[in-house]
């Protein structure tokens, strides 16, 4: 049974469909790494989008 080949976006380990955690359409080996990726993404976004306040 193939067809599901995903890797954790944090550590690169193979993840199985039944044990994977999905965030932002990406797959992770654990909820811990999913959270880590979310934190990374947020901090990166904060840095690149340094305006703050309302956009309109």
* Residue 15 makes contact with Zn ion by CB under 5 A: no
Q: Stretches 4-12, 16-24, 34-42, 43-51: which one binds Zn ion (CB under 5 A)?
A: 4-12
* Residue 33 makes contact with Zn ion by CB under 5 A: yes
Radius of gyration of the chain (CA): 15
Residue 41, H or E segment: helix 31-48
Which one of residues 8, 20, 34, 37 is an interface residue with Zn ion (CB under 5 A)? 8
Task: Return residues touching Zn ion (CB under 5 A).
Answer: 8, 10-11, 29, 33
């Amino acid at each position: 049974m193939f067809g599901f080949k995903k890797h954790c976006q944090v550590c690169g380990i193979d993840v199985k469909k039944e044990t994977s955690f999905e965030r932002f359409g990406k797959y992770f080996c654990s909820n811990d790494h999913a959270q880590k990726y979310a934190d990374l993404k947020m901090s990166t976004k904060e840095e690149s989008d340094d305006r703050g306040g309302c956009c309109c």
